[in-house]
């Protein structure tokens, strides 16, 4: 014998019920079946609403009853298109009339007792099971309908009645012996107390009905048919790539169902577990899918964690006070007070100092809990031994479940490190001695991100999803997006990173796509995107609350830099091509570094100094390994190197500068390069990364530009360059007369920094720098005589974009 339970989604309408009929027919051909049925989808909520309307004196309850009747009539017309069997039609009509009569009584007295509500709720399962029983008969499947209230005996705890299993099992067995039908159809969810009043087994209680019948009948299996193909590794509403769990044991299933897995009702497992009866979760709409088999023991699935689950709408109660330390009985009194009020405790944790106890409950009971607990400890609160009960809401419980966790060290460490890396604060932790469950209380707003982060950590193939937000789509920004698109397959296959560009912004518009933007077509998409300031763009990023988020600043805007702190505080990493932050006031620079450290985020700005050259990364490796920087000499401006490598007097200086700008080597305003400001920023950043405390004003800047070149617009700047051609010619002729060349060099020595144009001889390390090359010489304690040299192209959109890309990869893999 098998027991088959079909949930509300499986019997939502005539079309889905036809699928149920076929499934039952196939099973009935092989074995005797007990079929347990839920109410039609949405009916239970409609019945609750009907009762509440009547209680409030709103005669709108009649309209709700009419809607319920209409829905059931539509189902019957779909199942019996030619004619509805008269006995069924009369039964439904009389049942609806009885429902209306009860609600009219509620309306008159303006009171809806729990007992009366139970009676109202029972109509859903009674009518649905009657209709389906008749349809089975119409399909040639002989069956007997039996009211579950005649068999299941409970106490009078209306709303969540406790079952007298011994008496119930005896009644079911007696009935099964007396019945000759191959198929027995019973309504789920409902029962009856010793006085004959209708009770219910709680929301989701049809699963429990199925388990009770399976245990009483010593069934070979309990099948629970629903709208998903078994239990999943996480909630598919949160995680796109969930895994189906093919096998799971009773203990793990109970833990997952307790902590929010909606496929089965938590008490379901208990009766079948006692009899070691397997439970098979199947999909009504994909009956060929294997589903999930729940058994006493299962083979090792190979995964450490079996599933991730969560419960929302949690309130945290905190009882604390110095008067609790060393005094027995406080915990007992707390739990007794909650028990008397019929408030279920979901999670418990207590500090080892005995100074506080923390429990989690359903937040709808929070006010009641505070009242009863403060009453219980009124005397202790009055004399100051303990504080009034603390109540906080807005939480969820997140749980990792799996028997294999006890055989592996470091699971909790991985869990908490993953949550911390994504900026998810843990308010309380609980772990049972069985090590089957690790639970944490977190803010409800973080649940989706937390579940995704943990699922990626414990269930992915090693591929890490990275969510990118890019501000700035100028020349470098476009090259970066091109590189991301062209390298996507390599990054996924070889680096196991799935880079998704979720947001792109320019100075006027912002584009977002939850599933990622097609970077090959971002220009047209951004053109059609809504108007949006950069502040609005960055405000939206934390609200999306996506795991592994990285903000990429490919602008030169101070307004963008102002948004860095709020992003870092939400554990969103920052990759800055923008030099402003790292070269701002020292306190601001350190503040950003501290925020990144505090909130487990990356703040990387490699391209601030050498475009794609690994200058800062190399410097950090030196200092982290204990080396000490003694001196730095550097050519840090690809622009200036290009200019003085190409300026020989045959072409005007202004013409060479304009060429450098056209080829993308200069800042948008070339004066920032030529007046030494850009180089000063770069040496300042290297000085700070070398542990020196310097401000921009501390750097000696020996500018070679005449003062007149610094005023006015960029066009004015070029005009002044042409007027001062003689000055620039004199600089190069002076160097030639000494047998030397001109290079713009930055120096850091003994904590002092300077930048300026220098004449260097052929023996100098920088003498042969060509084109737009940069070079950095690190003289350190270890590299004291022969410096560590980094050399290569130090300007250009492609290499700069590559440097930003490298920082993205570095942050993604950290």
Which are the catalytic amino acids? 682
* Distance separating alpha carbons of residues 646 and 641, to the nearest angstrom: 8
Coil, strand or helix at 407: helix
| Length of the chain, in residues | 814
What are the tokens at 814? Answer: 């950290």
Task: Identify which of 607, 734, 602 has the alpha carbon closest to the alpha carbon of residue 678.
Answer: 607
C-alpha angle with apex 502: 664 to 311, nearest 5 degrees? 155
Non-local (6+) Cβ contacts of 148 within 8 A are: 36, 125, 186, 187, 188, 190, 191, 209
Q: Helix H segments across 284-442?
A: 330-340, 366-376, 378-382, 411-421
Q: SS3 helix, strand, coil % of the chain, rounded to 5? A: 45, 20, 35
Non-local (6+) Cβ contacts of 713 within 8 A are: none
Does residue 37 contact residue 129 with C-beta atoms inside 8 Å? Answer: yes
What are the tokens at 765? Answer: 């390390």
Could you write out the three-class secondary structure of 199-216? Answer: EECCCCHHHHHHHHHHHH
Q: Longest C-alpha distance within the chain, in Å?
A: 119
Distances (CA, A) of 110 to 103, 198, 480, 541: 10, 21, 68, 49
Task: For 649-678, give the DSSP string.
Answer: SSS-HHHHHHHHHHTT-S-SSTHHHHTSHH
- What does DSSP say about strands 190-193 and 198-200: parallel, antiparallel, or unpaired? antiparallel
Residue 95 burial by Cβ neighbours in a 10 Å radius (0-12, 13-18, 19+): middle
Element (H, E) at 804: helix 797-812
Does residue 396 contact residue 444 with C-beta atoms inside 8 Å? Answer: yes
Measure the N-to-C terminal CA separation of the chain; round to a whole number of Å.
55
Task: Identify which of 197, 185, 184, 127 has the alpha carbon closest to the alpha carbon of residue 158.
Answer: 197
The b-or-e profile of 47-81 (16+ CB within 10 A means b, else e) is: bbebbebbbeeeeebbebbeebbebbeebbeebbe
Coil, strand or helix at 64: helix
Does residue 252 contact residue 233 with C-beta atoms inside 8 Å? Answer: no
> Tokens 């290569």 sit at which residue?
792
Q: Helix H segments across 361-468?
A: 366-376, 378-382, 411-421, 447-459
* Distance separating alpha carbons of residues 112 and 656, to the nearest angstrom: 88
Task: For 736-788, give the DSSP string.
Answer: HHTT-EEEEEEEEETTEEEEEEEEE-TTSTTTT--TTEEEEEEEESSSSSS-E
Q: 154 - beta bridge partners? A: 163, 193
Coil, strand or helix at 385: coil
Q: Helix H segments across 633-786?
A: 638-646, 653-662, 671-674, 677-689, 714-723, 725-737
* Distance separating alpha carbons of residues 419 and 762, to the nearest angstrom: 56
* Distance separating alpha carbons of residues 161 and 210, to the nearest angstrom: 16
- What does DSSP say about strands 390-401 and 426-431: parallel, antiparallel, or unpaired? unpaired
């Amino acid at each position: 014998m098998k027991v088959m339970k079909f949930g509300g989604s499986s019997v939502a309408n005539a079309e889905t019920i036809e699928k149920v009929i076929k499934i039952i027919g196939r099973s009935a051909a092989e074995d005797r079946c007990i079929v347990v049925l839920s109410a039609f989808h949405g009916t239970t909520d409609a019945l609750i609403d009907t009762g509440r309307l009547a209680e409030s004196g709103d005669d709108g309850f009649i309209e709700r009853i009419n809607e319920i009747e209409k829905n059931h009539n539509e189902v019957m017309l779909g199942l019996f298109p030619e004619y509805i069997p008269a006995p069924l039609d009369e039964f439904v009509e009389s049942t609806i009339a009885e429902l209306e009569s009860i609600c009219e009584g509620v309306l008159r007295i303006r009171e809806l007792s729990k007992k009366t509500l139970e009676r109202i709720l029972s109509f859903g399962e009674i009518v649905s099971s009657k209709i389906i029983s008749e349809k089975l008969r119409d399909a040639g499947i002989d069956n007997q309908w039996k009211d579950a209230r005649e068999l299941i005996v409970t106490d009078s705890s209306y709303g969540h009645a406790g079952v007298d299993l011994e008496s119930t099992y005896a009644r079911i067995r007696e009935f099964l012996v007396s019945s000759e039908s191959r198929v027995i159809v019973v309504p789920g969810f409902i029962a009856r107390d010793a006085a004959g009043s209708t009770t219910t087994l709680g929301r989701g209680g049809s699963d429990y009905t199925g388990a009770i019948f399976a245990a009483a009948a010593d069934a070979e299996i309990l099948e629970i048919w629903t709208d998903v193909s078994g239990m999943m590794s996480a909630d598919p509403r949160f995680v796109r790539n969930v895994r189906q769990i093919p096998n799971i044991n009773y203990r793990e299933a109970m833990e997952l169902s307790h902590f929010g897995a909606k496929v089965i009702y938590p008490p379901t497992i208990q009766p079948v577990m006692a009899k070691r009866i397997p439970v098979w979760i199947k999909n009504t709409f994909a009956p060929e899918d294997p589903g999930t088999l729940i058994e006493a023991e299962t083979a090792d699935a190979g995964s450490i964690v079996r599933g991730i689950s969560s419960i929302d709408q949690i309130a945290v109660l905190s009882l604390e006070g110095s008067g609790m330390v060393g005094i027995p009985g406080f915990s007992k009194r707390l739990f007794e007070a909650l028990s008397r009020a019929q408030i279920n405790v979901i999670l418990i944790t207590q500090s080892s100092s005995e100074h506080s106890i923390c429990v989690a409950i359903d937040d709808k009971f929070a006010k009641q809990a505070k009242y009863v607990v403060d009453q219980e400890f009124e005397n202790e609160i009055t004399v100051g031994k303990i504080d009034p009960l603390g109540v906080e809401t807005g939480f969820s419980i997140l749980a990792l479940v799996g028997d294999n966790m006890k055989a592996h060290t470091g699971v909790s460490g991985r869990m908490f490190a993953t949550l911390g890396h994504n900026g998810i604060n843990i308010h309380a932790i609980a772990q049972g001695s069985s090590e089957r469950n690790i639970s944490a209380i977190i803010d409800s707003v973080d649940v989706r991100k937390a579940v995704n982060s943990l699922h990626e950590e414990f269930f992915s193939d090693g591929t890490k999803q990275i969510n990118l937000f890019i501000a700035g789509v100028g020349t470098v920004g476009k090259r970066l997006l091109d590189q991301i698109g062209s390298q996507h397959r390599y990054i996924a296959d070889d680096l196991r990173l799935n880079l998704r560009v979720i947001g792109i912004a320019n100075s006027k518009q912002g584009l977002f796509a939850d599933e990622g933007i097609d970077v090959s077509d971002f220009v047209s998409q951004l053109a059609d995107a809504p108007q949006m300031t950069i502040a609005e763009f960055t405000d939206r990023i934390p609200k999306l609350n996506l795991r592994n988020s990285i903000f990429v600043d490919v602008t030169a805007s101070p307004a963008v830099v102002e948004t860095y702190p709020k992003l870092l505080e939400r554990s969103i990493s920052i990759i800055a091509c923008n030099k402003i932050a790292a070269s701002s006031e020292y306190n601001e620079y350190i503040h950003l570094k501290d925020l990144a450290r505090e909130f487990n985020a990356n703040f990387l700005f490699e391209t601030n100094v050498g475009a794609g050259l690994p200058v800062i990364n190399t410097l950090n490796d030196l200092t982290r390994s204990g080396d000490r920087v003694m001196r730095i000499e550097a050519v840090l401006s690809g622009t200036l190197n290009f200019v003085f490598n190409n300026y020989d007097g045959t072409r005007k200086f202004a013409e060479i500068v304009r060429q450098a700008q056209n080829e993308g080597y200069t800042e948008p305003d070339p004066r920032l390069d030529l007046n030494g400001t850009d180089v000063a920023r770069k040496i300042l950043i290297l000085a700070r990364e070398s542990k020196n405390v310097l401000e921009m004003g501390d750097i000696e800047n020996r500018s070679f530009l005449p003062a007149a070149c610094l005023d006015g617009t960029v066009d004015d700047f070029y005009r002044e360059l042409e007027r001062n051609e003689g000055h620039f010619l004199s600089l190069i002729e002076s160097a030639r007369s000494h047998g030397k060349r001109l290079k713009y060099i930055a120096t850091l020595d003994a904590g002092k920094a300077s930048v300026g144009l220098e004449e260097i001889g052929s023996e100098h390390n920088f003498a042969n720098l060509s084109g737009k090359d940069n070079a950095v010489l690190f003289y350190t304690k270890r590299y004291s005589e022969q410096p560590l040299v980094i050399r290569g192209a130090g300007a250009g959109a492609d290499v700069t974009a590559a440097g930003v890309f490298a920082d993205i990869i570095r942050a993604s893999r950290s």
